[in-house]
Each structure stands twice: as structure tokens, then as C-alpha cells.
Homo-oligomer: A and B are copies of this chain.
Amino acid sequence: MSEAEPAAVSLSHRVPDLGALELLIAVARLGSLGRAARARGISQPAASSRIRSMERQLGVALVERSPRGSRLTDAGALVTDWARRVVEAAEAFDAGAQALRGRRDSRLRVAASMTIAEYLLPGWLIALRAQWPGTAVSLHAGNSRVVAERLLGGEADLGFVEGLDVPSGLDGAVIGHDRLVVVAAPSHPWSRRRTELTAAELAKTPLILRERGSGTRQVLDAALGGHGGLAEPLLELASTTAVKAAVVSEAAPSVLSELAVGEELTARRLVEIPVRGLRLGRDLRAVWPTGQRPVGPARDLLGLTRGG
């Protein structure tokens, strides 16, 4: 079959939906379709048919059925592992989305910078829910100024900002660190350099970057100002994901937040290129109105982020 490449049918037609993946994970854990069905609140035939159609869709036998129960096949174990990662991402999505809904009765109102809201908050919220179930959290994302306004206006109980200083009127505690890193594909010449890159070299190399106006772009512009300024980008893209994909395939480097490329670095899909004498770090801070140390749920969340 000659799978025409442009309209390469969407993922949703080739990947089972979340319900099916959750069911598969339940089967893995419980060792029987029937028990998994009960755990997920559906009938046994529904589970049976769901798993079967998943096997048909993937073209792989996932579970070995027997009159004593069901075990995963080798392929099934692998598929289940991959499924868990999809479900984890979905859980993060859910945690974030629930917070965005911003119900009035939230016990904890958080205001956070975009980077923190995007990469870190969902994980914190999941941990918070695990540890103190029933804590309704609402989230508002915005830049440092907005975060400060909401805290001082009593519209938020706890804030998170990245940057060099704490907005006036607020107290804060450093809870982590973000750092822009120069990354390239493993096949790029820079990945094999023995000598460190210099800031000047970096400045004069056309990079793949997010479009002007993005936070990381601004930081980078400022940091390289003293080294002749940033060269004209080779490519400007709208999303970080697009940039990462382009770095892998276009064989040009980029500069991205460590938080955005952590996974790619550990999997060596991307390689970090050290740059001599360039400091592109930013502290991540929790902040609150001066004098008003967080209490209750705010204190709980703060604890999760820094090991309280």
C-alpha cells in the first residue's frame, strides 16, 4: 500500500484514544480483562472489544488470553510503556486545564509566568493533588508584572516568576533555575568540537529561533548584545516544538530553555554545546506579597516546589 505522504492520515487514526490506553494499562496492572473493565467502570465485553480493536488497529497482539486471565505479550508490555507516557502527558494536560478553569471557590489561586506554567506547574499540580487531594487550584498565566499585580491586588495567593529580580512589593524564594542552552543535532559539527564555543562565534552564526518577541529570544538578544548582536536567524518558527524538530533535521543549532529540551538531551536527540563565558541563566522564584508568608495550600504547593 503506497501511503501517500502529504495527507498521512492523522495520528488520531493510528493511535488508540486515551480510554483505550488507560484500559490497557489497567489490564497490565490487574492481569485480567474483566478486572480491568471493572476498575475502569465499564463492562467486561466492552473491555474485551476495546482491546481487540486496539490490537486490530496496531496490527500487534497485545495480550495473551487464557481461561485463567490475561497477560501482556512482549510487544504488549512495550506498547503499554509507551501508552503510559501518553497518559502521563494527558494527566499533565488535565491538571493544567483544570487549574485554568479558575473556579471561584479555588482554595489556592496561583499566578505564574508562561515558562513556569507551561513546563513546571502541571507536574506540581499532580503532586499536590496526590498529596493533598481536594485542593482546588486556579491558575492565571502572565508576565512578571501581571503576576505582581494579581498578588498585590489579592487576586492570587502565590506567584511564580522567572527573571533576575523580585518585583517590588513582593518577597520571594528561589525554587529552581532555568538556563538557555545552545543545542545542535548530534550530527552537527559543533557536537564534536573539542574547544568551547565562544559567544562571538555563536552571535555570528545563523540560528533556528522562535519568532521575535518570545521570552527566550529577548534574553538571548540581550546576552549577545555585547558580542556584536545576534546574526539574522536562519529560520524563525512559531513554536518551540517546531524549533526542536528543525534543529534535528535542518542541522542548524538553536538556543532554547533547558526545560524545553531536557528530554531531548537525555535521549541525545539533541546535544548541548557549551559556550565559554556566556551566562544565560535565570532564577525561578516563588513570590508573595511582602510579609505575607504563604500559609495553607499555598505553603503546601511551595513545599512541593522546593522540598519543604
Interface residues in chain A, defined as those with a beta carbon under 8 Å from any beta carbon in chain B: 5-7, 10-12, 14-15, 17-19, 22, 28-29, 39-41, 58-60, 74-75, 77-79, 81-94, 96-98, 100-102, 114, 117-120, 122-124, 127, 130-131, 133-134, 141-142, 175-176, 185-188, 191-192, 238-241, 245, 248-249, 258-259, 262-269, 271, 303-308
Contact of A186 among B18, B117, B304 (CB under 8 A): B304
Please, which residues of chain B bring their CB within 8 A of the CB of A18? Answer: 10-12, 15, 17-18
Residue of A18, A87, A91, A303 with most chain B CB atoms under a 10 A cut-off: A18
**Given A17-B18, A187-B308, A263-B263, also A83-B93 (CB < 8 A):** yes
Q: Are B89 and A86 in contact (CB under 8 A)?
A: yes
Please, which residues of chain B bring their CB within 8 A of the CB of A40? Answer: 10
Q: Are A60 and B100 in contact (CB under 8 A)?
A: yes
Q: How far is the CA of A187 from the CA of B305 in the complex (A)?
A: 9
Please, which residues of chain B bring their CB within 8 A of the CB of A266? Answer: 258-259, 262-263
Q: How many copies does the complex hold?
A: 2
**What is the distance, in angstroms, from A9's C-beta to the closest C-beta of chain B?**
8
Contact of A306 among B77, B141, B186 (CB under 8 A): B186
Q: Are A97 and B12 in contact (CB under 8 A)?
A: no
Please, which residues of chain B bring their CB within 8 A of the CB of A90? Answer: 11, 15, 86
Contact of A122 among B82, B176, B187 (CB under 8 A): B82
Q: How far is the CA of A28 from the CA of B271 in the complex (A)?
A: 28
**What is the distance, in angstroms, from A188's C-beta to the closest C-beta of chain B?**
8
Q: How far is the CA of A13 from the CA of B34 in the complex (A)?
A: 21
Contact of A78 among B82, B114, B131 (CB under 8 A): B114
